Amino acid sequence: MGMSFSGRVALVTGAGAGIGRATALAFAAEGLQVVVSDIDAQGGEATVQAIRTAGGEASFVRCDVTRDSDVAALVVSTLETYGRLDYAFNNAGIEIEQHKLAEGSEAEFDAIMGVNVKGVWLCMKHQLPALLAQGGGAIVNTASVAGLGAAPKMSIYSASKHAVVGLTKSAAIEYAKKGIRVNAVCPAVIDTDMFRRAYEADPRKAEFAAAMHPVGRVGKVEEIAAAVLYLCCDQAGFTTGHTLTVDGGATAI
C-alpha cells in the first residue's frame, strides 16, 4: 500500500539535522515540496541542498519557534512560495537536562519550555488557520516516550513533552470535524547529534541507552521519519489525537 502525497506541501521545523532532516528528505522523496525550517541557517540550507541533489524541491526559511513573528512569517512564506500547506511536522526541540529536579535552573526551565512547548503551540496556532482555509490537512508534533511517563533526571524535558501530548490531543479534538488531523510521534532514544552530545562524555551511558530498548539498539532517524509520513498520509485518515510510540519496545516492559 503506497502513501498518497501527490501535489502536496510539507513544512518541517527543526529540519537542519537529525529527525527533522530525515523527515524532510523522506517527504521530498515522496514527491512533496518541502519547506525546511530551523534556527540554524547552515543546517537548514544543507538539508535543502541534500533534497535538491536527490531531485526534490525545497526551500529554507529561518525561524525561531519561540517568536510569534517568526512563526507567522514562516507560514506566510510557505503559502507565498507554494500556494498551500498540507502537512506540518513540528519537530524543533531542545535537548534534555541531565540532573535531578532540584538541581535545575530557571533559565534551563524557560529555555526547554520555550522551544518544546511554546514553539509547538505557536506553530499550530499559525498552521491551523492555513489548514482550515484550505479545507484540511495533518499536523504531527514531536513528543517523546518521556512525555508518556516518568523520566528521572530529565523532569523539565519530560514535562515539556507531556505538554506536547496535551496540546496534540486537545487540538485533535477541536479540529476533528474540520478535516484536520493532529497526532504526535513519541520516539525513545534516537541516534542524533543531540543523543551524541548527551552521551559523548561517558560511552557507558550510550551503551545503557541501547540496552534499555528490548531490540538492543537506539533508533534511527529514518524510522521516525517513516512514522511521521504514515501519520500524514491519506491512509491514516481515521487516526487523530494519537501518540505513536516508536521506541524499540521500551514502553512495553
Catalytic residue among 157, 175, 199, 230: 157
150 contacts: CB under 8 Å, gap ≥ 6: 158
Annotation marks residue 87 as catalytic = no
Integer Cα distance of 32 and 224 in angstroms:
18
Grid cell in block for residue 36:
525546511
Which residues are catalytic, by number? 157
